Amino acid sequence: MPSLVQPTVKIDATKLNRGFELAREYSKTAPADACNFTAKEVAFGAYQNTPVTTAERVNREFLIDTQPKIGVRGKPSKNKRILKGGKVVDYTRGSVTTTVPLAVLIAQARANSNSKYNQLTGFRYYLPRSPYATGKGGRAAGRAAMASLIDSMLKGRRRAASGFIRAGWLASMKRLKSLVPARYRKNSDVDSGGQNVEALGTVIPAKKGDAKAFCQIENDVGMDNKNPSQNRALMEKGTPALQIAMDRQGQREMDFFLRKSGKEDLETPVNKEWA
């Protein structure tokens, strides 16, 4: 039931376009350089404002490990193992309450089409059946299937913790930084964390000599149609970040125009400090 990839979102570029247009009246920078610089700043701003999950939080709330089950005599069992989680909750079924790892409950909720979890997440992580329902192999096979699923869940969340969603802007930042004049290269140094940034984003720089400067930047996370959940996360978390970045850059360029035109009194206080 997961939704298909959503290729575009609605972004208001009014402030950015107007600020860029006015700033050009007092700027001696070549149109292509100015366009590439503005795009670099937008990409950097979107990167900075996209929220990430910390690895510490993933470990604290979802870290799952298998440990020997302690028998009645206080000795660890050789064959029976239990799941231990960094965060556990009390689960009541009938008159019996047990402590269950949160990750196990999430996995079970994903397999329930009527669960509140699936309703709130728009069936983004829906499973057609429970990992325990293996059909063959009994409980041992079910536990193994659950452990495998939990391992995949943790790897996915750790990937998000490394800034995977926002890493889609790194390709644009890297490419555009190499093209703009040296004085425009500050405030855009970030660590890629070893990720193949070229595969996560696309950039078409403005070319010098063109009658009209045009630069295109894209965050392509989840756009391969293989990971719709990553794409949904990009749209939900990345869209507000991109809007903030565009508005702020537009305001900066508007304030540049106001300073150069002798109308500093209209400049926003926060951008006076930025200058």
Q: Check whether residue 47 and residue 179 sit in a common domain.
A: yes
How many CA atoms does the CB half-sphere of 4 hold within 13 Å?
Answer: 2
Residue 34: both structure tokens together: 């100015």
pLDDT of residue 4: 46
Per-residue pLDDT reduced to its tens digit, 181-206: 887 777 666 665 555 677 788 999 99
Summarize the confidence of residues 252-274 as an average pLDDT: 70
Q: How confident is the model at residue 176 (pLDDT cuts 50, 70, 90)?
A: very high
**What is the percent of the chain with per-residue pLDDT over 90, rounded to a whole number?**
24
* Higher-scoring residue by pLDDT: 141, 264: 141
Q: Check whether residue 48 and residue 169 sit in a common domain.
A: yes
pLDDT of residue 7: 54
Q: What range does the domain containing 219 cover?
A: 14-52+163-274
Largest pairwise CA distance in the chain? 85
Q: How confident is the model at residue 207 (pLDDT cuts 50, 70, 90)?
A: very high
What radius of gyration, in Å, describes the C-alpha atoms of the chain? 25
Of the three residues 113, 138, 161, the one that is the final residue of a domain is 161
CA-to-CA distance for 98 and 88, rounded, in angstroms?
A: 10
Q: How confident is the model at residue 264 (pLDDT cuts 50, 70, 90)?
A: low
pLDDT at 221 over 80: yes
Let me know if residue 111 belongs to a domain.
Answer: yes
Of the three residues 110, 139, 161, the one that is the final residue of a domain is 161
Q: Check whether residue 172 and residue 47 sit in a common domain.
A: yes
Let me know if residue 2 belongs to a domain.
Answer: no
Let me know if residue 195 belongs to a domain.
Answer: yes
Q: Check whether residue 175 and residue 46 sit in a common domain.
A: yes
SS3 letters for 190-224? CCCCCCCHHHCEEEECCCCCCCCCCCEEEECCCCC
Q: Residue 68 in 3-state DSSP? A: strand
Let me know if residue 157 belongs to a domain.
Answer: yes
Of the three residues 109, 138, 161, the one that is the final residue of a domain is 161
CA-to-CA distance for 84 and 63, rounded, in angstroms?
A: 8
Q: How confident is the model at residue 95 (pLDDT cuts 50, 70, 90)?
A: confident
Let me know if residue 7 belongs to a domain.
Answer: no
pLDDT at 208 over 90: no
pLDDT of residue 246: 95
Q: Check whether residue 48 and residue 69 sit in a common domain.
A: no
Let me know if residue 4 belongs to a domain.
Answer: no
Let me know if residue 8 belongs to a domain.
Answer: no
Summarize the confidence of residues 130-147 as an average pLDDT: 81
pLDDT of residue 68: 64
Q: Check whether residue 42 and residue 99 sit in a common domain.
A: no
Q: How many domains does the chain have?
A: 2
Q: Check whether residue 143 and residue 220 sit in a common domain.
A: no
Would you call 74 exposed, middle or buried from its count of C-beta atoms within 10 A (0-12, 13-18, 19+)? exposed
Q: Check whether residue 25 and residue 82 sit in a common domain.
A: no
* Higher-scoring residue by pLDDT: 15, 78: 15
Backbone φ and ψ for 195, nearest 5 degrees, come out as -80, 150
CA-to-CA distance for 85 and 88, rounded, in angstroms?
A: 6
Q: Check whether residue 61 and residue 127 sit in a common domain.
A: yes
Per-residue pLDDT reduced to its tens digit, 51-77: 887 666 666 666 555 566 666 677 777
CA-to-CA distance for 70 and 77, rounded, in angstroms?
A: 6
Q: Check whether residue 73 and residue 209 sit in a common domain.
A: no
Q: Check whether residue 206 and residue 216 sit in a common domain.
A: yes
- pTM of structure: 0.63
Let me know if residue 204 belongs to a domain.
Answer: yes
Per-residue pLDDT reduced to its tens digit, 7-34: 567 889 999 999 999 998 888 888 999 9
Q: Check whether residue 28 and residue 77 sit in a common domain.
A: no
> Helices marked H in the chain — which ranges?
14-23, 31-49, 55-62, 102-110, 116-120, 138-161, 170-177, 228-233, 239-260, 269-274
